A and B are shown apart, each in its own frame.
Chain A
């Protein structure tokens, strides 16, 4: 039997919603992880393990793990630290499984890797050794490494997104890195410095399915697509209500389909445009966009959606899910055509991910 799990990271712990392939009836459980602020909760398809990353004001950063679909949890931060004297890690912001390993992105920005299922961690030191690092500046949420995108079939290759340093790429397993921001704007820079080598405020990165190197990027300053692994980015923001938003989510099978949640603008309050909620979808790689509103609030929608709080599942048709800053979780079982709330009063939602398993 197919089970669908929606993993929700919130300001007060992890919540899990479970359903079957029909995705009509859902059960909700939580909060887990001792009600810690959780930035990102994910499921590892290869093992069925659930991981939740965060940082507690009292007790610092850790990665939580459950191997029984959320019934019981352990936590660890062994090795998840910079050298003595450096600014300590505040929180773990992002997780990604890749080639049997688990990656974790942290604040202040850096990358860690675990090869024992999150029990111990080692620093991927090459990233912070990049010569640009002294010039990395924090975005509004801090200097955070918030997206990790392993290459679909080459374990030595990896992209990361850092606010506000931009996209960086390695093809030697993390030893050396290069910025991959060409074509993305930094509107907050002086006019003659709007296209720097690094320093862009990437908000999210999504890898298109199919095994290629097509990437999508929602940036603080625009929406972009790259068909060559980020060497060159091109704007795909024409037709969107705003150039500003946080999350993006790829379709599980169609490289031309992407889901977005544009907000009204960075200096306008950062909520739904005209206070009417809509998910925006392209079917042609960003050439055109359609707003999807059926079942979403069309008045007084003054919520935001954070950078990791939009996800798809891998069923047919694909499910789409997003969580709001106000604690509501919305779901579509038909690729965004119609929506229904799965929960309305959770804590502020940081992340939404899915796990589809046969059990």
Chain B
């Protein structure tokens, strides 16, 4: 655990660019489609988004807590979880999954 803590601490100033889906932007008209946030994990990234646009966390993650079932967060081309660690300079894509009726 100690080494993991050190590893996270070293990423304290990790900056990522988040690309938000258009359907989400309809709910938060002030949010841009791309935004830079400081976050070491996907969970922190969502928290940072929520701090700027209150309520956004509830739209992207449920109370499990987990990324919502029909929301995809892609990090390095892979579907990520809240605990997925981010690296400095990454572009994180938040996408609405196929869903509907």
Residues of A that sit less than 8 Å from B by CB: 11, 34, 57-60, 62, 75-78, 80-86, 88-89
Contact = CB atoms under 8 A, between A and B. Distances in A.
Given A11-B101, A78-B58, A58 B63 contact: no
A58 B55 contact: no
Contacts of A62: 58
B24 A85 contact: no
A84 B65 contact: yes
Nearest to B60: A59
A58 B58 contact: no
A187 to B, nearest CB: 31
B7 interface: no
A84 B66 CA distance: 10
B63 A84 contact: yes
B64 interface: yes
Contact of A59 (B24, B100, B101): B24
Nearest to B101: A11
A88 B64 contact: yes
Interface string B77-92: 0000000000000000
Given A34-B27, A75-B55, A77-B55, A57 B64 contact: no
A204 to B, nearest CB: 24
Instruction: Give the top 5 A-B pairs by smallest Cβ distance, nearest first.
Output: A88-B62, A81-B63, A59-B59, A57-B99, A77-B58
Contacts of A86: 63
Contacts of A83: 63
B52 interface: no
B100 A60 contact: no
Given A60-B62, A81-B58, 9 more contacts: A11-B101, A57-B99, A58-B23, A59-B58, A59-B59, A60-B59, A76-B55, A78-B55, A78-B58
